A = this chain, B = another copy of it.
Amino acid sequence: MTVRAAVAGASGYAGGEVLRLLAGHPEAEVGALTGNSNAGQRLGALQPHLVPFADRVLEETTTEVLAGHDVVFLALPHGQSAAVAEQLGDGVLVVDCGADFRLTDAADWEKFYGTPHAGTWPYGLPELPGAREALKGSRRIAVPGCYPTAVSLALAPAYAAGLAEPEAVVVAATGTSGAGKALKPHLLGSEVMGSMSPYGVGGVHRHTPEMVQNLSAAAGERVTVSFTPTLAPMSRGILATCSAKARPGVTGEGLRAAYEKAYQDEPFVTLLPEGQWPATAAVQGSNSAQLQVAYDESADRVLVVSAIDNLTKGTAGGAVQSMNIALGLPEGLGLSTIGVAP
Protein backbone atom coordinates (compact mmCIF):
# COMPACT_ATOMS: atom_id res chain seq x y z
CA MET A 1 0.00 0.00 0.00
CA THR A 2 1.46 3.33 -1.04
CA VAL A 3 0.30 6.35 0.85
CA ARG A 4 0.53 9.64 -0.96
CA ALA A 5 1.11 12.38 1.56
CA ALA A 6 1.04 16.17 1.39
CA VAL A 7 2.62 18.46 3.96
CA ALA A 8 1.10 21.88 4.51
CA GLY A 9 3.62 24.10 6.24
CA ALA A 10 6.70 22.29 4.99
CA SER A 11 9.00 25.24 5.60
CA GLY A 12 8.60 25.18 9.37
CA TYR A 13 10.24 22.93 11.90
CA ALA A 14 7.25 20.66 12.43
CA GLY A 15 6.57 20.31 8.71
CA GLY A 16 10.22 19.69 8.00
CA GLU A 17 10.31 16.90 10.55
CA VAL A 18 7.21 15.29 9.07
CA LEU A 19 8.94 15.37 5.73
CA ARG A 20 12.13 13.89 7.17
CA LEU A 21 10.15 10.96 8.55
CA LEU A 22 8.06 10.46 5.44
CA ALA A 23 11.25 10.22 3.39
CA GLY A 24 12.21 7.16 5.40
CA HIS A 25 8.74 5.65 5.50
CA PRO A 26 8.58 2.61 3.22
CA GLU A 27 4.94 3.12 2.29
CA ALA A 28 4.86 6.88 1.95
CA GLU A 29 5.21 8.91 -1.18
CA VAL A 30 5.64 12.63 -0.76
CA GLY A 31 3.21 14.73 -2.75
CA ALA A 32 2.50 18.42 -2.45
CA LEU A 33 4.54 20.63 -0.16
CA THR A 34 3.13 24.00 0.76
CA GLY A 35 4.20 27.07 2.66
CA ASN A 36 2.52 30.38 2.93
CA SER A 37 4.98 33.22 3.06
CA ASN A 38 7.55 30.92 1.52
CA ALA A 39 5.49 29.70 -1.41
CA GLY A 40 7.53 29.80 -4.58
CA GLN A 41 10.83 29.11 -2.89
CA ARG A 42 13.04 26.05 -3.27
CA LEU A 43 12.74 23.89 -0.21
CA GLY A 44 16.50 23.44 -0.21
CA ALA A 45 17.00 27.08 0.65
CA LEU A 46 14.76 26.77 3.70
CA GLN A 47 15.43 23.22 4.85
CA PRO A 48 18.91 22.36 3.61
CA HIS A 49 18.92 19.07 5.50
CA LEU A 50 16.11 17.65 3.36
CA VAL A 51 18.41 16.82 0.47
CA PRO A 52 16.05 14.66 -1.60
CA PHE A 53 13.47 17.44 -1.66
CA ALA A 54 15.88 20.32 -2.18
CA ASP A 55 14.60 21.15 -5.63
CA ARG A 56 10.93 20.97 -4.73
CA VAL A 57 9.22 24.34 -4.84
CA LEU A 58 6.75 25.24 -2.14
CA GLU A 59 3.20 25.81 -3.28
CA GLU A 60 0.40 27.85 -1.73
CA THR A 61 -1.67 26.09 0.90
CA THR A 62 -4.91 25.67 -1.05
CA THR A 63 -7.53 22.97 -1.30
CA GLU A 64 -6.58 22.37 -4.91
CA VAL A 65 -2.96 21.76 -4.07
CA LEU A 66 -3.76 19.48 -1.15
CA ALA A 67 -6.46 17.50 -2.94
CA GLY A 68 -5.73 14.05 -4.31
CA HIS A 69 -3.59 12.80 -1.47
CA ASP A 70 -4.27 9.94 0.91
CA VAL A 71 -2.92 11.87 3.86
CA VAL A 72 -2.52 15.56 4.49
CA PHE A 73 -0.30 16.73 7.34
CA LEU A 74 -1.16 20.18 8.57
CA ALA A 75 1.72 22.02 10.22
CA LEU A 76 0.02 25.39 10.25
CA PRO A 77 -0.31 28.19 12.78
CA HIS A 78 -3.01 27.54 15.37
CA GLY A 79 -6.46 28.31 14.11
CA GLN A 80 -5.85 27.64 10.43
CA SER A 81 -6.48 23.91 10.33
CA ALA A 82 -10.26 23.81 10.61
CA ALA A 83 -10.95 25.65 7.39
CA VAL A 84 -8.48 23.56 5.43
CA ALA A 85 -9.69 20.28 6.90
CA GLU A 86 -13.32 20.99 6.17
CA GLN A 87 -12.63 21.44 2.49
CA LEU A 88 -10.59 18.28 2.20
CA GLY A 89 -13.54 16.00 2.81
CA ASP A 90 -13.78 12.70 4.62
CA GLY A 91 -11.94 10.62 2.09
CA VAL A 92 -8.56 11.92 3.11
CA LEU A 93 -6.76 11.36 6.38
CA VAL A 94 -6.01 14.75 7.90
CA VAL A 95 -3.30 14.83 10.56
CA ASP A 96 -3.25 18.16 12.34
CA CYS A 97 0.01 19.02 14.07
CA GLY A 98 -1.61 22.19 15.37
CA ALA A 99 -3.69 22.63 18.51
CA ASP A 100 -7.11 23.19 16.93
CA PHE A 101 -8.70 19.83 17.61
CA ARG A 102 -6.90 18.67 20.75
CA LEU A 103 -9.18 19.94 23.47
CA THR A 104 -12.55 18.45 24.32
CA ASP A 105 -13.67 21.38 26.40
CA ALA A 106 -14.76 24.34 24.32
CA ALA A 107 -14.44 26.72 27.25
CA ASP A 108 -10.83 25.72 27.80
CA TRP A 109 -10.12 26.25 24.12
CA GLU A 110 -11.66 29.66 24.09
CA LYS A 111 -9.92 30.71 27.29
CA PHE A 112 -6.47 29.72 26.12
CA TYR A 113 -6.68 30.32 22.38
CA GLY A 114 -9.23 33.09 22.14
CA THR A 115 -11.12 31.77 19.13
CA PRO A 116 -14.23 29.62 18.74
CA HIS A 117 -13.71 25.92 19.33
CA ALA A 118 -13.54 23.94 16.09
CA GLY A 119 -14.17 20.50 17.54
CA THR A 120 -12.26 17.50 18.84
CA TRP A 121 -10.51 14.81 16.86
CA PRO A 122 -9.08 11.46 17.94
CA TYR A 123 -5.96 12.20 19.94
CA GLY A 124 -2.65 11.06 18.54
CA LEU A 125 -0.97 9.73 21.66
CA PRO A 126 -1.58 6.00 21.26
CA GLU A 127 0.04 5.15 24.59
CA LEU A 128 -2.81 6.79 26.52
CA PRO A 129 -5.63 4.47 27.59
CA GLY A 130 -8.16 4.12 24.80
CA ALA A 131 -6.32 6.38 22.39
CA ARG A 132 -5.01 3.69 20.10
CA GLU A 133 -8.46 2.24 19.54
CA ALA A 134 -9.90 5.63 18.72
CA LEU A 135 -7.26 6.20 16.08
CA LYS A 136 -7.91 3.00 14.14
CA GLY A 137 -9.60 3.84 10.89
CA SER A 138 -10.02 7.47 11.81
CA ARG A 139 -9.84 10.09 9.06
CA ARG A 140 -8.90 12.84 11.47
CA ILE A 141 -6.05 12.98 13.98
CA ALA A 142 -5.20 15.71 16.45
CA VAL A 143 -1.48 15.43 17.14
CA PRO A 144 -0.77 16.28 20.79
CA GLY A 145 1.31 19.22 21.87
CA CYS A 146 4.94 18.45 22.56
CA TYR A 147 4.79 19.23 26.27
CA PRO A 148 1.53 17.29 26.82
CA THR A 149 3.15 14.31 25.14
CA ALA A 150 6.10 14.35 27.54
CA VAL A 151 3.97 15.08 30.60
CA SER A 152 1.12 12.71 29.85
CA LEU A 153 3.47 9.81 29.23
CA ALA A 154 5.19 10.68 32.50
CA LEU A 155 2.19 11.00 34.78
CA ALA A 156 -0.77 9.14 33.28
CA PRO A 157 0.28 5.75 34.69
CA ALA A 158 0.61 7.17 38.20
CA TYR A 159 -2.86 8.65 37.97
CA ALA A 160 -4.36 5.61 36.31
CA ALA A 161 -2.99 3.46 39.11
CA GLY A 162 -4.24 5.82 41.81
CA LEU A 163 -0.79 6.55 43.14
CA ALA A 164 -0.80 10.34 43.04
CA GLU A 165 -2.86 13.19 44.42
CA PRO A 166 -4.60 15.27 41.75
CA GLU A 167 -2.29 18.25 41.93
CA ALA A 168 0.64 17.84 39.59
CA VAL A 169 3.67 20.11 39.42
CA VAL A 170 5.56 20.12 36.13
CA VAL A 171 8.69 21.98 35.14
CA ALA A 172 9.85 21.24 31.63
CA ALA A 173 12.82 22.36 29.58
CA THR A 174 12.47 22.55 25.83
CA GLY A 175 14.81 23.03 22.96
CA THR A 176 14.26 26.20 20.98
CA SER A 177 12.72 24.47 17.97
CA GLY A 178 9.63 24.14 20.15
CA ALA A 179 9.14 27.84 19.64
CA GLY A 180 9.22 27.52 15.87
CA LYS A 181 10.99 29.64 13.30
CA ALA A 182 9.37 32.90 14.34
CA LEU A 183 11.83 35.79 14.31
CA LYS A 184 11.67 36.93 17.93
CA PRO A 185 14.57 38.57 19.78
CA HIS A 186 14.59 36.10 22.66
CA LEU A 187 15.02 33.22 20.19
CA LEU A 188 18.23 34.57 18.68
CA GLY A 189 21.20 32.31 19.16
CA SER A 190 23.05 35.05 21.04
CA GLU A 191 20.26 35.19 23.60
CA VAL A 192 19.62 31.49 23.90
CA MET A 193 23.10 30.02 24.14
CA GLY A 194 24.43 29.82 27.65
CA SER A 195 21.05 30.71 29.09
CA MET A 196 18.01 29.12 30.68
CA SER A 197 14.82 31.09 31.12
CA PRO A 198 11.18 30.39 31.85
CA TYR A 199 8.22 31.67 29.88
CA GLY A 200 4.45 31.32 30.00
CA VAL A 201 4.68 31.07 33.79
CA GLY A 202 1.81 30.89 36.23
CA GLY A 203 -0.63 28.59 34.50
CA VAL A 204 -0.97 30.53 31.28
CA HIS A 205 0.81 28.28 28.78
CA ARG A 206 -1.61 26.91 26.20
CA HIS A 207 -0.52 23.35 26.73
CA THR A 208 -1.78 23.41 30.32
CA PRO A 209 -5.42 22.51 29.65
CA GLU A 210 -4.28 19.68 27.39
CA MET A 211 -2.26 18.18 30.22
CA VAL A 212 -5.16 18.67 32.60
CA GLN A 213 -7.43 16.89 30.13
CA ASN A 214 -5.14 13.90 29.73
CA LEU A 215 -4.24 13.47 33.36
CA SER A 216 -7.81 13.97 34.52
CA ALA A 217 -8.94 11.26 32.13
CA ALA A 218 -6.32 8.92 33.53
CA ALA A 219 -7.18 9.75 37.12
CA GLY A 220 -10.94 9.70 36.75
CA GLU A 221 -11.07 13.01 38.59
CA ARG A 222 -9.96 16.54 37.86
CA VAL A 223 -6.18 16.95 38.10
CA THR A 224 -4.68 20.42 38.29
CA VAL A 225 -1.30 21.04 36.71
CA SER A 226 1.13 23.75 37.77
CA PHE A 227 3.15 23.97 34.58
CA THR A 228 6.32 25.98 34.05
CA PRO A 229 8.02 25.72 30.67
CA THR A 230 11.63 26.81 30.32
CA LEU A 231 13.75 27.44 27.26
CA ALA A 232 17.05 25.54 27.20
CA PRO A 233 20.16 26.15 25.09
CA MET A 234 19.60 23.28 22.68
CA SER A 235 17.72 22.92 19.42
CA ARG A 236 15.65 19.87 20.24
CA GLY A 237 14.34 17.91 23.18
CA ILE A 238 12.02 18.16 26.14
CA LEU A 239 12.91 17.12 29.65
CA ALA A 240 9.81 17.11 31.83
CA THR A 241 10.21 16.85 35.60
CA CYS A 242 6.80 15.91 36.96
CA SER A 243 5.67 15.26 40.50
CA ALA A 244 2.64 14.97 42.71
CA LYS A 245 1.99 14.21 46.33
CA ALA A 246 1.88 10.45 46.82
CA ARG A 247 -1.33 8.71 47.78
CA PRO A 248 -1.06 6.81 51.07
CA GLY A 249 0.81 3.55 50.85
CA VAL A 250 2.87 4.36 47.79
CA THR A 251 6.31 2.79 47.70
CA GLY A 252 9.16 3.00 45.24
CA GLU A 253 8.57 -0.60 44.23
CA GLY A 254 4.87 -0.10 43.72
CA LEU A 255 5.47 2.98 41.66
CA ARG A 256 7.99 1.23 39.46
CA ALA A 257 5.71 -1.78 39.01
CA ALA A 258 2.90 0.47 37.79
CA TYR A 259 5.10 1.95 35.11
CA GLU A 260 6.53 -1.38 34.06
CA LYS A 261 3.04 -2.63 33.56
CA ALA A 262 1.85 0.44 31.75
CA TYR A 263 4.64 0.46 29.21
CA GLN A 264 5.81 -3.13 28.90
CA ASP A 265 4.26 -3.48 25.45
CA GLU A 266 4.88 0.02 24.21
CA PRO A 267 7.71 0.08 21.69
CA PHE A 268 8.27 3.81 21.94
CA VAL A 269 8.32 4.23 25.70
CA THR A 270 11.28 3.01 27.72
CA LEU A 271 11.26 2.84 31.49
CA LEU A 272 14.97 3.05 32.21
CA PRO A 273 16.66 0.65 34.63
CA GLU A 274 16.91 1.92 38.18
CA GLY A 275 19.76 4.35 38.63
CA GLN A 276 19.69 5.60 35.06
CA TRP A 277 18.03 8.91 34.25
CA PRO A 278 16.78 10.14 30.92
CA ALA A 279 18.72 12.59 28.77
CA THR A 280 17.20 14.36 25.82
CA ALA A 281 20.22 13.63 23.62
CA ALA A 282 19.42 9.93 23.78
CA VAL A 283 16.09 10.44 22.04
CA GLN A 284 17.15 13.09 19.54
CA GLY A 285 15.50 12.48 16.20
CA SER A 286 13.83 9.32 17.49
CA ASN A 287 10.24 8.51 18.34
CA SER A 288 11.25 7.25 21.78
CA ALA A 289 10.28 8.54 25.18
CA GLN A 290 12.58 7.62 28.03
CA LEU A 291 11.24 7.68 31.59
CA GLN A 292 12.42 7.22 35.11
CA VAL A 293 10.41 7.21 38.33
CA ALA A 294 11.20 7.76 41.99
CA TYR A 295 9.37 8.00 45.24
CA ASP A 296 10.83 10.84 47.31
CA GLU A 297 10.20 9.70 50.85
CA SER A 298 11.18 12.93 52.58
CA ALA A 299 8.78 15.00 50.52
CA ASP A 300 6.29 12.14 50.09
CA ARG A 301 6.04 12.75 46.38
CA VAL A 302 5.89 10.65 43.26
CA LEU A 303 8.46 11.92 40.78
CA VAL A 304 8.67 11.07 37.09
CA VAL A 305 11.10 12.50 34.56
CA SER A 306 10.56 12.00 30.85
CA ALA A 307 12.65 12.87 27.83
CA ILE A 308 11.40 13.14 24.28
CA ASP A 309 12.37 14.91 21.09
CA ASN A 310 9.81 17.68 20.80
CA LEU A 311 9.84 17.51 17.01
CA THR A 312 9.75 13.73 16.69
CA LYS A 313 7.75 11.90 19.37
CA GLY A 314 6.46 15.33 20.41
CA THR A 315 5.14 16.24 16.95
CA ALA A 316 6.02 14.58 13.67
CA GLY A 317 6.83 11.14 15.02
CA GLY A 318 3.61 11.01 16.99
CA ALA A 319 1.85 12.15 13.82
CA VAL A 320 3.33 9.37 11.70
CA GLN A 321 2.76 6.76 14.41
CA SER A 322 -0.88 7.79 14.58
CA MET A 323 -1.17 7.83 10.81
CA ASN A 324 0.13 4.28 10.71
CA ILE A 325 -2.55 3.21 13.19
CA ALA A 326 -5.31 5.03 11.35
CA LEU A 327 -4.32 3.42 8.06
CA GLY A 328 -3.84 -0.06 9.48
CA LEU A 329 -0.09 -0.05 8.86
CA PRO A 330 2.38 -1.45 11.38
CA GLU A 331 2.47 1.20 14.08
CA GLY A 332 6.23 1.73 14.02
CA LEU A 333 6.67 1.89 10.26
CA GLY A 334 9.17 4.56 9.28
CA LEU A 335 9.95 5.40 12.89
CA SER A 336 13.10 4.69 14.85
CA THR A 337 13.54 4.17 18.55
CA ILE A 338 17.20 5.12 18.21
CA GLY A 339 18.37 8.63 18.89
CA VAL A 340 21.15 10.46 17.12
CA ALA A 341 23.71 10.80 19.89
CA PRO A 342 26.06 12.11 21.00
Contact = CB atoms under 8 A, between A and B. Distances in A.
Nearest to A172: B171
A248 B303 CA distance: 26
A189 B176 contact: yes
Given A194-B234, A233-B189, A278-B198, A226 B299 contact: yes
A198 B342 contact: no
A181 interface: yes
A227 to B, nearest CB: 8
Given A48-B279, A187-B190, A303 B340 contact: no
Given A49-B341, A194-B237, A337-B51, A305 B185 contact: no
B230 A296 contact: no
A89 interface: no
7 tightest Cβ-Cβ pairs between the two chains A and B: A189-B192, A202-B294, A195-B281, A49-B339, A197-B279, A171-B171, A226-B299
Interface in A56-99: none
Interface stretch (A113-121, A282-290, A319-327): A282-290
Contacts of A340: 20, 49, 284-285, 340
Nearest to A237: B196
B235 A202 contact: no
Given A303-B226, A338-B52, A233 B286 contact: no
Nearest to A304: B201
Contact of A48 (B183, B272, B305): B272
B173 A305 contact: no
Interface string A176-219: 11010101110111111111111101110000100000000000
Contacts of A199: 277
A225 B169 CA distance: 13
Given A48-B272, A48-B341, A195-B282, 6 more contacts: A176-B193, A187-B189, A187-B190, A191-B342, A203-B296, A208-B298
Contacts of A303: 201-202, 226, 228
Interface centre among A20, A176, A230, A243 (most CB of B within 10 A): A230
A310 to B, nearest CB: 11
A169 B279 contact: no
Nearest to A188: B187
Residue picked from A224, A272, A299, most chain B C-beta under 10 Å: A299
A75 to B, nearest CB: 14
Nearest to A45: B276
A295 interface: yes
A181 to B, nearest CB: 6
Interface string A111-145: 00000000000000000000000000000000000
Interface in A217-249: 224-226, 228, 230, 232-237, 239, 241, 243, 245
A298 B338 CA distance: 38
A232 B233 contact: yes
